[in-house]
Amino acid sequence: MKNVAGLPTRKWSRFEIGFWLLPLIAFFVFPKYLTLGSQILIAGLFALSLDLILGYARIISLGHAAYFGVGAYTAGLLAKYGWGEPISGLAAAATVAAAVGLITSFLVVRGQDLTRLMVTLGIGLMLFEAANQASSITGGVDGLSGVEMRPLFGVFAFGMDGRTAYVYSLAVLFIVFCFARTLVRSPFGLSLRGIREGEKRMPAIGVSVPRKLIVIYTVGAGIAGIAGALLAQTTQFVGIDTLGFPRSAELMIMLVLGGTGYLYGALIGAAVFMVLQDYLANLSAVYWQFWLGLLLVAIVMFARGGLMGGAIALHRRWLRSRT
Amino acid sequence: MLGNLIGVLFDGIAYGSLLFIISIGLSVTMGLMNFVNLAHGAFAMLGGYSCVIAMTRLGLPFLASLPVAFVVSALAGVVLERLLYRRLYRATHLDQVLFSIGLIFMAIAGATWLFGSQQQPVRLPDFLRGQVRVLGLDFGAYRLFLIVVVVAITLALTWLIERTRFGAEVRASVDNQQASAGLGINVERVFSLTFALGSGLAGLGGGLGIDVLGLDPTFPLKYMVYFLLVVAVGGAGTIKGPLFAALILGVFDVAGKYYVPQLGSFVIYVVMVAMLLVFPQGLVGRRA
């Protein structure tokens, strides 16, 4: 197919290939940090799911953790009650989360920014409260323990060294990323961008805005469910904080830190965020929250594009200086 | 049973009144400046802590500490509006949401650092404690006091907005900023003053609410939904809408927690989502 200027291509660039080599190199260079590594990969996957709905469709969601939590509890409960096979558990979690996403998407796409904000927030809080009250099933505030995973493919057990967890998370992240990458480069992805840039004009060229938004919201929810399930499976525990508002807020911070609407921004933001958190939160949890807030204010005031936006601007300047 | 019902209704109205005082400023920010300010609760918390400090360190009586709460929060509102908020009026809602979440986190961390994470006690004067007997029914004196205060504030606000020159400027700016500026109204000054007034009222509400809502550093996050809800359900930019919404929410929340405690806060979230779907523009839709 001939390239049309301005339209995205399917080809992987050098930067992308180099980017995906990094987690592979990290596996061999930092064998002691594989647990943190898989946390980063999971957070990256979760941020990726938000990027699809926020970065591409501009739906402001304050309750995206709802789907993460639904996925986590689905995978956790399945494993607790005897279905410990990881991959089918992952598929089940994705299905359930996507179903919840589909049902709630009808409520979400109805309103405008403020209503959407409130409805997503309300859905998140509702699920949190439901999990909190149904403590006989979910374990309530104590969390869901007793999650026992069977080895991956019957061979690789989830051990203390975190090797299986890391490789498993990385593989899932990469597969989902390829899917998301294809999705946003497809005509469907382009129509989402069209909605983002001018929602009122899209019906004029024959695009049903609510239908597109429902689809992407459902996909985003399903991917968030996969991320939640990964967390449940690799840590063999589900805390009620997987559903909480702070998780939704932190997720947004990761995404805007990395930059919205690039897919890679979500992964970079998650990595930077998690490393910073690991370092600073150990010093003091209160200070960490303060710096987090300050960081957010600073991003909004001075660095709208996030890290990816900044990097792309630098790259463009460099290209221009060469010509 | 009937006594219970009236009691629940009364407590709900008192609770709703409190939500109204705190949220009315948010209604103005959203209606006038079209700014989604999730951090509004931080001003209420600031008011609450000012109240506590005024009572414990300065030895002021409770009633005298309330104006302190108003003034401190209003001043903080003016400073933040000039320095930060003003720069984001034209930003996207996403930026405003992120910015205000950042402020919430900083407020929570700051309050934890300064005052510790425990609940702050408040000592009410004797005449506001205990019960008052009206028409054979016992009512909490403090809750009665809350309702009276809110009625007074609502009347004063209505007078301010409907009858004064400043109120006319506010209404004009809400309806059409550009035309108002063209007519010689200093819209920026109107923004600053209304933001200060809204923050001050939130602070006053925070001070009044210590006894009912409690006061600890997570306050802005814990009640964020309620404040947003009042405005989103009531419709931004009016007084009547948020008042109705606050009273409805207050009654449902208290009734839900009293009659079906096992559901906890679930009731209020269901009510919220349902009301948002039925009235996407709020109970009292703003004139376009």
Strands B137-140 and B131-134: antiparallel
Domain holding A233, by residue range, is: 14-243
Tell the residue number behind the tokens 């190199």, with chain if given. Answer: A25
Domain count, chain B: 1
Cβ within 8 Å of B, A 278-317: 286-287, 289-290, 292-297, 299-301, 304
Among A310-319, B39-48, B50-59, top mean pLDDT goes to: B39-48
CA distance A101 to chain B (A): 15
Tell me which residue in A122, A133, A249 faces B264 most closely, judged by beta carbons.
A133
Tokens at residue A106, please?
């009808």
Kindly determine whether residue A115 and residue B94, on different chains, have CB atoms separated by under 8 Å.
Answer: no
- What totals of helices (H) and strands (E) does chain B contain, helices first? 12, 2
Q: Flag whether residue A249 sits within 8 Å of chain B, measured between CB atoms.
A: yes
Residues 6+ apart with CB under 8 A from B93: A60, A113, A114, A117, B36
Q: Give the integer Cα–Cα distance in Å for B237 and B28.
A: 5
pLDDT value of residue B43: 92
Q: Give the integer Cα–Cα distance in Å for A5 and A294.
A: 39
pLDDT per residue as tens digits for the range B250-280: 888 888 878 877 776 777 778 777 777 777 6
A with B: how many residue pairs have Cβ under 8 Å apart? 121
Tell me which residue in A112, A287, A297 faces B102 most closely, judged by beta carbons.
A297
Domain count, chain A: 1
Does A279 fall in a domain? no
Tell me which residue in A62, A125, A290 faces B269 most closely, judged by beta carbons.
A125
Tell me which residue in A118, A129, A133 faces B232 most closely, judged by beta carbons.
A118
Evaluate if residue A285 carries a pLDDT over 80. no
Tell the residue number behind the tokens 């109107």, with chain if given. Answer: B190
What is the Cα gyration radius of chain A?
20
Q: Give the integer Cα–Cα distance in Å for A161 and B269.
A: 42
- Quick check: A267 and A251 in contact, CB under 8 A? no
Does A285 fall in a domain? no
Q: Give the integer Cα–Cα distance in Å for A235 and A229.
A: 10
User: Taking each helix axis from N to C terminus, what angle separates A209-235 and A163-185, rounded to the nearest 10 degrees?
Assistant: 170
- Quick check: A8 and A188 in contact, CB under 8 A? no
Does A317 fall in a domain? no
User: Taking each helix axis from N to C terminus, what angle separates A113-133 and A65-80, rounded to the nearest 10 degrees?
Assistant: 30
pLDDT per residue as tens digits for the range B76-135: 999 998 888 888 888 888 888 889 889 998 999 898 888 887 887 777 777 777 777 776
Evaluate if residue B71 carries a pLDDT over 90. yes
Q: Give the integer Cα–Cα distance in Å for A173 and A168.
A: 9
Kindly determine whether residue A297 and residue B99, on different chains, have CB atoms separated by under 8 Å.
Answer: yes
**Which ipTM did the prediction report?**
0.82
From A295, A197, A303, A267, select the one nearest A46 (Cα to Cα).
Answer: A267
Tell me which amino acid residue B63 is. Answer: L
Find the CATH number of the domain harbouring B204.
1.10.3470
CA dist B208 to A144, B131, B224, Å? Answer: 39, 18, 17
Tokens at residue A82, please?
């005897």
Does A274 fall in a domain? no
Domain holding B147, by residue range, is: 2-120+139-278
- Find the range with the poorest average confidence among A45-49, A240-244, B259-263: B259-263
- Using CA coordinates, name the residue in chain A closest to B106: A290
- Using CA coordinates, name the residue in chain B closest to A116: B276
Handedness of CA A185, A117, B201, B195 (dihedral sign): positive
* DSSP run (H or E) holding A148: none
Contact residues, chain B, for A110 at CB < 8 Å: 277, 280
Does B125 fall in a domain? no
